[in-house]
Amino acid sequence: MDLRMLQSFKKAIPILLRHLDSYVELVEQDLSVAMSVAASRIKALMLLSVSTAFAVLFACLLIVALTWDSDYRVLSIGIMTGAFALIAAASGAYFAKRRAKPFASLKREWREDRALVQSFLSTDPHEEASI
């Protein structure tokens, strides 16, 4: 390593150390937000699942009861099965697409700081002296 590179590292180390505390704070904030969002989504999903399950169960029971003495009871059960399969596939696709990205702000800040440090390390020391 040449002297210029060592001087650049010497200047960069205090900056990096100051940012370390900010990174820790960002991790704590992102983790707190992620846990809060996950907890509320789990509660809402549980409530939605239980209430939907009961509503669907009783609707299916009603359809089967109404069509029991007719020739359409097997058809009605088959249609309900197909509808449930489509609903399950659509819900699975929806939840797979809507994933949260944990630590997004930390990643963004890290990219910005890395670019800043790289530009700082690549500057000519003679340019700073002229400023």
> Is there a contact between 26 and 92 (Cβ–Cβ < 8 Å)?
no
Position 2 scores a pLDDT of: 67
Whole-number Å distance between alpha carbons of 2 and 8: 10
Q: How confident is the model at residue 55 (pLDDT cuts 50, 70, 90)?
A: very high
Position 124 scores a pLDDT of: 57
**Is pLDDT of 43 > 60?**
yes
Tens of pLDDT, residue by residue over 14-29, are 777 777 878 888 888 8
Q: What is the pTM of this model?
A: 0.44
> Is there a contact between 75 and 63 (Cβ–Cβ < 8 Å)?
no
| DSSP collapsed to 3 states, 24-50 | HHHHHHHHHHHHHHHHHHHHHHHHHHH
Whole-number Å distance between alpha carbons of 61 and 57: 6
**Is pLDDT of 130 > 50?**
no
Domain range summary for the chain, segments of one domain joined by +: 27-113
**Is pLDDT of 69 > 90?**
yes
Position 131 scores a pLDDT of: 45
Tens of pLDDT, residue by residue over 86-121, are 999 998 888 888 777 777 777 888 888 888 878 877
Task: Count CA within 13 A, CB hemisphere, residue 61.
Answer: 6
More reliable by pLDDT, 61 or 108: 61
